[in-house]
C-alpha cells in the first residue's frame, strides 16, 4: 500500500510517502510560511523525488485535528480533493497522535498544542495507546488532573508545544521531561502514514471534516450576541 500523508495542524508542514510501512520520503518545514503556499508544492516535490505518480497512490492520510483552524482546513480540503479525484481511501488521524507517535518511550506521553487564553489541546498516550482522549482544556486543570492520577513525575514526557508551558509544568511535575527540540516535538507525517495503514478509511469523503474540539472565536462571539447556537438545525430559518 502506497500512502501519502500530511499534517498542517500547527506551524509545521509535514509530508511523507510510505509503502507497506516503509518510509520512501519525508519533508518537514518548521517555518511560519503559509500552509496554503507550501503544502501542494511540497507534495509535488516529494512525489517527484520518490518517482511516483498520483495514480500510484492507494491512500491519503491526514491530521484531522485539533489544531490551527486554517491549517486544518487546508490539509483536510487537500486530502478530500485528492482522495475524491483519485478514487482512493481517505483516513484521518489525531494531530496530537501525530506528535506523540514520535516519542519512543515507556513513559506517559502528553502532547500539547497551544489553544490560547490558558487553554491547550491535549491527550495522554502510554506505549502508543491513548489513555486520555483528545480534549480542549485549561492547562491548569489538565495539570491538576494529571497530578491526581500520576504521582511519579519522572514517568511523564510532555511534547508538542509544551516548551511554552515549561514553568507551569515543572511547578507541578518537577521531574517531568519536556521535549523542546525539533523534530522530536513536531508532528510526523511518517507516523500518520504508518498508523493509517491499520485503520479503516472514511465511508464518505464528502462528510469528512476537521475535528476542531472548540468553536472558532467569531462563532463564539456570534452565539453570545445572538443567543443562538450555531449548530441548531433550524438556525437558518431563525436568522
pLDDT given at position 221:
56
pLDDT given at position 140:
97
Asked if residue 77 belongs to a domain, the reply is yes
pLDDT given at position 128:
84
pLDDT given at position 141:
97
pLDDT per residue rounded down to tens, the chain (239 residues): 999 999 999 999 999 999 999 999 999 999 877 899 999 999 999 999 999 999 999 999 999 999 999 999 999 999 999 999 999 999 999 999 999 999 988 889 999 999 999 999 999 999 889 999 999 999 999 999 999 988 888 889 999 999 999 999 999 999 999 999 989 999 999 999 999 999 999 999 999 999 999 866 555 555 556 666 665 444 333 33
State the residue range of the domain holding 85: 2-95+187-217
pLDDT given at position 179:
96
Q: Nearest-CA neighbor of 118 among 92, 137, 103?
A: 137
Cross-strand partners of 61: 5, 91
CATH number at residue 37: 3.30.420.40
Asked if residue 225 belongs to a domain, the reply is no
For residue 1, what is the DSSP state?
Answer: -
Grid cell, residue 9, equals 495542524
**CA 35-41-46 angle, 5° bins:** 115
Q: First-to-last CA distance in the chain?
A: 48
- Same domain, residue pair 82 and 10: yes
Asked if residue 81 belongs to a domain, the reply is yes
Domain end, chosen from 152, 178, 204, is at 178
Neighbours of 36 (CB within 10 A): 14
pLDDT given at position 220:
56
Asked if residue 156 belongs to a domain, the reply is yes
* Residue 126 burial (C-beta neighbours within 10 Å; 0-12, 13-18, 19+): middle
Alpha-carbon torsion, ordered 40, 44, 49, 53, to 10 deg: 140
- Same domain, residue pair 37 and 14: yes
- Same domain, residue pair 194 and 120: no
- Same domain, residue pair 31 and 87: yes
User: How many structural domains does the chain have?
Assistant: 2
Amino acid at each position: 500500500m502506497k500512502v501519502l500523508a500530511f499534517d498542517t495542524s500547527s506551524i509545521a508542514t509535514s509530508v511523507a510517502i510510505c509503502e507497506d510501512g516503509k518510509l520512501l520520503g519525508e519533508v518537514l518545514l518548521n517555518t511560519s510560511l503559509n500552509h496554503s503556499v507550501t503544502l501542494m508544492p511540497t507534495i509535488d516535490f516529494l512525489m517527484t523525488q520518490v518517482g511516483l505518480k498520483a495514480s500510484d497512490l492507494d491512500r491519503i492520510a491526514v491530521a484531522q485535528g485539533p489544531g490551527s483552524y486554517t491549517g486544518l482546513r487546508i490539509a483536510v480540503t487537500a486530502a478530500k480533493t485528492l482522495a475524491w479525484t483519485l478514487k482512493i481511501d481517505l483516513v484521518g488521524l489525531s494531530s496530537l497522535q501525530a506528535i506523540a507517535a514520535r516519542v519512543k518511550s515507556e513513559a506517559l506521553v502528553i502532547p500539547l498544542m497551544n489553544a490560547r487564553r490558558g487553554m491547550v489541546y491535549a491527550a495522554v498516550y502510554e506505549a502508543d495507546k491513548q489513555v486520555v482522549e483528545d480534549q480542549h482544556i485549561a492547562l491548569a486543570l489538565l495539570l491538576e488532573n494529571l497530578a491526581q492520577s500520576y504521582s511519579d513525575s519522572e514517568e511523564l514526557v510532555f511534547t508538542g508545544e509544551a516548551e511554552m508551558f515549561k514553568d507551569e509544568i515543572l511547578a507541578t511535575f518537577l521531574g517531568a521531561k519536556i521535549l523542546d527540540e525539533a523534530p522530536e516535538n513536531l508532528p510526523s507525517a511518517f507516523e500518520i502514514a504508518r498508523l493509517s495503514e491499520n485503520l479503516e478509511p472514511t465511508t464518505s469523503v464528502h462528510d469528512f471534516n476537521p475535528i476542531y474540539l472548540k468553536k472558532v472565536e467569531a462563532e463564539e462571539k456570534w452565539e453570545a450576541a445572538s443567543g443562538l447556537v450555531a449548530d441548531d438545525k433550524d438556525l437558518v430559518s431563525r436568522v
